[in-house]
Structure 1
Amino acid sequence: MSHAEPPPILISDVQQTLARELERIAPIIDELGARFSAAGHELALVGGPVRDAMLGRLQEDLDFTTSARPEQTEKLLKGWADAIWDMGRDFGTIGCRKGEWTVEITTYRSETYDPTSRKPDVDYGTSLVADLQRRDFSVNSMALTVPERGFEDPFGGLVDLANRTLRTPGKAEDSFSDDPLRMMRAARFAAQLGFEVAPDVVAAMTAMADRIQIISAERVRDELVKLICAPYPRRGLALLVETGLAAHVLPELPALSLERDEHHRHKDVYEHSLTVLEQAIDQEDRLSPDGPPAPDFLVRFAALMHDVGKPRTRRFESGGVVTFHHHDVVGAKITKKRMKALRFSNDQIDAVTKLVELHLRFHGYGDGEWTDSAVRRYVRDAGDQLVRLHILTRADCTTRNQSKADRLRRAYDDLEERIERLSEEEELASIRPDLDGTQIMEILQIPPGREVGQAYAWLLELRMEEGPKTEDEAKAALLQWWAAR
């Protein structure tokens, strides 16, 4: 399962993995290190790439830190890099591409936030150790000087890596005051790496949670996406809720922890939603049948948000029954509002809200009352989100009653088989009327206008209800409808 416990980390394994990864990137680090050293500058591979090299998950992005100023870095890269860019110059960063590698080189720096500002003040630093001290966590405060490949770990990052622990190099309060987004990153790394967060870091996150409000919605959104698409999202989300950060960035999540009493027992909606998220992750291979499964934010976020309408729609009925009528529709509206606040794209908002709104549609199918027309409407309403809706609907079954779970699974198997059969017969994915607008105007002898649209809509409903017709049958039905008007 994608959310199983992470494997243990042995320092001997870390050392072997690091040595293997360094050989893979040797052409880059050796050549760059030699160029900077010859010019009298220090250069070190730093932060995430060092950590990921130790974990065997290094990608093609390499981060370096240097004593050279940006203009000196740019000069040294000319003639070596395939392409150079300087969008990060104001932050001391020059980027380049060399073959398959993307390289960013940043001057030693220190960075602090004004309590009323969203933008950091950047000051250049003078030493590697001072640069490492200003980084977010000890596992990201390790460096490898090049070309000599000296390992620098002044804050115990290697031990923390082996212990699967996230700590800050200095006081957590100072780190989060410098950049409050680091609190979100703590949760994100917990989700990505399966690490525990040190108690003092959790305490600082809890005490300073409201400080996240000075960070732009876009930066918060990006961290949230990375967290949700990580291998262990439950860990990160639980940390956001525990520390109170979620109350500021995704308040709908802690709101799912509905209070219960001895007379009104019902499923814990918060825990249920996290379980649905994990069960959706287990089905992501359906979205990439021709390759390895990839994290899919849309289906994961829909799974997390599918029941956010329940707190607002909860009603206590006689006999201790709890109802959540129309929580699907209400939840879709809440989801849309939250995603807009987090600056998601319209396409992402439309996809997730559609899934939230449709997640209950399947219920009732097991009674065997769905006609072919109902199946066609299910497919039409899902549109290009049909496979994600299949995943979400199946994931939403968290009952411990095995016979009920088996019954629901068989019913959905049957629905998917009917969809596949009808799709082969009728091309359900692109369902449209049997006559187009031009034919409608010719048959009814009318010009373009509102009446053509009305006729088209009527023919589409006829197609949904009765299935495909021949052109002659559709023409006769259209004329009959027109005369009856």
Structure 2
Amino acid sequence: MRPAPSDRDAGPGSHDEAAELHRAQENAVVELLDVPEVADELATRFRERGHRLYLVGGSVRDALLHRASGDLDFTTDARPEAILEIVHGWADAVWDTGIAFGTVGARRRDDPIEITTFRADSYDGASRNPEVRFGDDITGDLVRRDFSVNAMAVDLTDGPEHRRFVDPHGGLAALAQGVLDTPAAPEQSFSDDPLRMLRAARFVSQLGFTPADRVLSALREMAPQLSRITAERVQAEFSKLILGEYPRRALELMVDTGLAELVVPEVPAMQLETDEHMQHKDVYTHSLVVMEQAIGKETDGPDLVLRLAALLHDIGKPATRRKEPDGRVSFHHHEVVGAKMTRKRLKELRYPKAVIDDVCQLVYLHLRFHGYGKGEWTDSAVRRYVTDAGPLLERLHRLVRSDCTTRNRRRANALQRSYDSLEDRIAELREQEELDAIRPDLDGNRIMELLGVGPGPAVGKAYKHLLALRMEQGPLGAERAESELRAWAAENLPG
């Protein structure tokens, strides 16, 4: 970097030249921004009422990165009541649920908008709830934001020809270098809101950034403070992290700094084990590779269920590790233990029941394929595999294929050929049978009619018996199914 000229080197006009260069740089940045028309419309309304309006935070960051953004975020010197008056009659819809925190939500045509009064909050250090205080200028507002790349703003007040870039904390330089730093000291920022620590990992995942050294030090020192945050808020950030472009980097950061112990302690616990293939330093590394490989097999965008299942599929191994007489290490039934552990962890993180059920079922089924040796799949085994997977079958295919991380090319190819064979068998049976909706040949009403009974446990037992026959032997046809039902009833139902 070229040294700055000293005062004695500065001739007449040097300061003016520096200011002119700075303005030129600001203008170049503003020209990079694709500011939506709706933002200039809104700025005009604020200017006409004597207020300033800034596009701020993630909206500016994403515009500079040419990334799609969600809501348009604005900040202003106008107080919340004035904001409501300004957007009244212009916005197609208005929400004031966040007005106690200075935020008014709105929608203009298809654009969601959030407008927040300058903030100068203070925190009590015991919770993440601030004492809300409104500020008077943009500089004070930006310093309270989480990261410097989110502490940039564009003053829109004076119209498209006079936009001004505001970057008091070096956000643009951090953006260019891919560095994640805080406007204020990271210890202060994370103490104000410990969720920002997990948000740092989320930005590593979403943007591929590298935390500054001082941020890393603060994360390691302050990770336990994440316990102040509710499980729901932690889950929301963790899900965004998992769905990012670089989730492995973020998870490694969480493990290295101790954040993972507060969110998913089962993940760092896998560092203690060596996987049975002896090809990875530990099960932890293997699981990260499986997750990356599963991501590579996604076809319809990021899949939270698949990614969580890939990350957690082996968390039962530490609890099931056994050393066999021949010296090998085994993890018998780790899929069963792992499914139970997964359910407990995801429940504690307040994931929706549907997500929990799907992830746990994938963890439980991920070894089923390997239980059939070299691929001697009977029709019965194929039916059970498809039925147990149900609507998760395609995800299960991707998970099982991703779980092959051996460096032995011959073994890897053999496993893939074996799974190809299974998928071929599934396709063949699908042509012959209603494989995705296997049911007994007789429904409950017909069972009750033939047995002369009403609803009750006997009907359920008869149904399960016929379903088991259907799994083992394929379609029976009505006549044979009725015969089988009568024979079962004769042995199992008194009278």
Give TM-score, length-normalised by structure 1.
0.92
How far apart are the structure 2 equivalents of 1:69 and 1:471?
74
Indicate which of 34, 41, 61 corresponds to 2:51: 41
- 1:390 corresponding residue in structure 2: 397
Deviation, 1:60, is 4.4
The one-letter amino acid paired with 1:204 is A
1:391-437: CA deviation from partner (whole Å, max 9, x where unpaired): 11010000000000000001111111111221232111111111001
Which structure: larger Rg? 2
How far apart are the structure 1 equivalents of 2:280 and 2:297?
27
How far apart are the structure 1 equivalents of 2:445 and 2:29?
66
Q: How does 1:162-201 map to 2 (within 5 A)?
A: 162-201=176-215
Q: How does 1:76-475 map to 2 (within 5 A)?
A: 76-146=86-156, 147=159, 148-258=162-272, 267-285=281-299, 293-475=300-482
How far apart are the structure 2 equivalents of 1:457 and 1:317?
38
Indicate which of 29, 46, 61 corresponds to 1:51: 61
1:263-283: CA deviation from partner (whole Å, max 9, x where unpaired): x99751111000000000011
Deviation, 1:71, is 0.7
Structure 2: where are the runs of 5+ without partners?
1-23
Identify which range, 319-328 or 460-469, moves more after superposition. 319-328
| Residues 139, 160 of structure 1: 8 Å contact kept | yes
How far apart are the structure 2 equivalents of 1:149 and 1:131?
19
| Residues 128, 193 of structure 2: 8 Å contact kept | no
Deviation, 1:21, is 4.8
Q: Give the secondary-structure state (helix, strand or coil) at the position aligned to 1:303.
A: helix
The one-letter amino acid paired with 1:97 is R
| Residues 94, 107 of structure 2: 8 Å contact kept | yes
| Residues 187, 240 of structure 1: 8 Å contact kept | yes
| Residues 274, 283 of structure 2: 8 Å contact kept | no
Q: 1:379 to 1:368 in 2, by over 3 A?
A: same
Deviation, 1:33, is 0.6
The one-letter amino acid paired with 1:116 is A
Instruction: Report whether the alignment pairs 1:22 with 2:29.
Output: no
1:203-259: CA deviation from partner (whole Å, max 9, x where unpaired): 001000000000000000000000000000011111100100111111011101016
Deviation, 1:317, is 2.4
Deviation, 1:18, is 6.4
How far apart are the structure 2 equivalents of 1:158 and 1:221?
30
How far apart are the structure 2 equivalents of 1:260 and 1:362?
22
| Residues 305, 335 of structure 1: 8 Å contact kept | yes
| Residues 61, 149 of structure 2: 8 Å contact kept | yes
Q: Give the secondary-structure state (helix, strand or coil) at the position aligned to 2:201.
A: helix
Aligned length: 463
Q: Give the secondary-structure state (helix, strand or coil) at the position aligned to 2:131.
A: strand
1:38-87: CA deviation from partner (whole Å, max 9, x where unpaired): 11111100000100001111334100001011110010001110000111
How far apart are the structure 1 equivalents of 2:404 and 2:412?
7
How far apart are the structure 1 equivalents of 2:446 and 2:279?
59
How far apart are the structure 2 equivalents of 1:228 and 1:29?
32
How far apart are the structure 1 equivalents of 2:145 and 2:32?
26
Deviation, 1:364, is 3.4
| Residues 111, 178 of structure 1: 8 Å contact kept | no
Q: Give the secondary-structure state (helix, strand or coil) at the position aligned to 2:133.
A: strand
Q: 1:265 to 1:282 in 2, by over 3 A?
A: closer
1:184-219: CA deviation from partner (whole Å, max 9, x where unpaired): 010000110011110100100100000000000000
The one-letter amino acid paired with 2:254 is L
How far apart are the structure 1 equivalents of 2:344 and 2:250?
23
How far apart are the structure 1 equivalents of 2:174 and 2:166?
14
The one-letter amino acid paired with 1:22 is D
| Residues 54, 155 of structure 2: 8 Å contact kept | yes
Q: Give the secondary-structure state (helix, strand or coil) at the position aligned to 1:115.
A: coil
1:336-395: CA deviation from partner (whole Å, max 9, x where unpaired): 111011011111111101111111110033523321101111111111111111111010
How far apart are the structure 1 equivalents of 2:206 and 2:32?
22
How far apart are the structure 2 equivalents of 1:476 and 1:364?
34
How far apart are the structure 2 equivalents of 1:108 and 1:94?
12
The one-letter amino acid paired with 2:242 is I
The one-letter amino acid paired with 2:416 is R
Q: Give the secondary-structure state (helix, strand or coil) at the position aligned to 1:151.
A: strand
Deviation, 1:321, is 1.2
The one-letter amino acid paired with 1:252 is E
How far apart are the structure 1 equivalents of 2:406 and 2:280?
12
Q: Give the secondary-structure state (helix, strand or coil) at the position aligned to 1:120.
A: coil
1:150-194: CA deviation from partner (whole Å, max 9, x where unpaired): 100001111110100001011110100111000001000011001
The structure with higher relative contact order (CA 8 Å, sep 6+) is: 1
The one-letter amino acid paired with 2:307 is R
> How much is the aligned-residue C-alpha RMSD, in angstroms?
2.0
1:84-139: CA deviation from partner (whole Å, max 9, x where unpaired): 01111111100000111000000000334333324232211111011000001110
How far apart are the structure 2 equivalents of 1:231 and 1:111?
33
Q: 1:108 to 1:17 in 2, by over 3 A?
A: closer
The one-letter amino acid paired with 1:155 is H
| Residues 138, 157 of structure 1: 8 Å contact kept | yes
Deviation, 1:260, is 6.4
| Residues 204, 210 of structure 2: 8 Å contact kept | yes
| Residues 148, 183 of structure 2: 8 Å contact kept | yes
Give TM-score, length-normalised by structure 2.
0.90
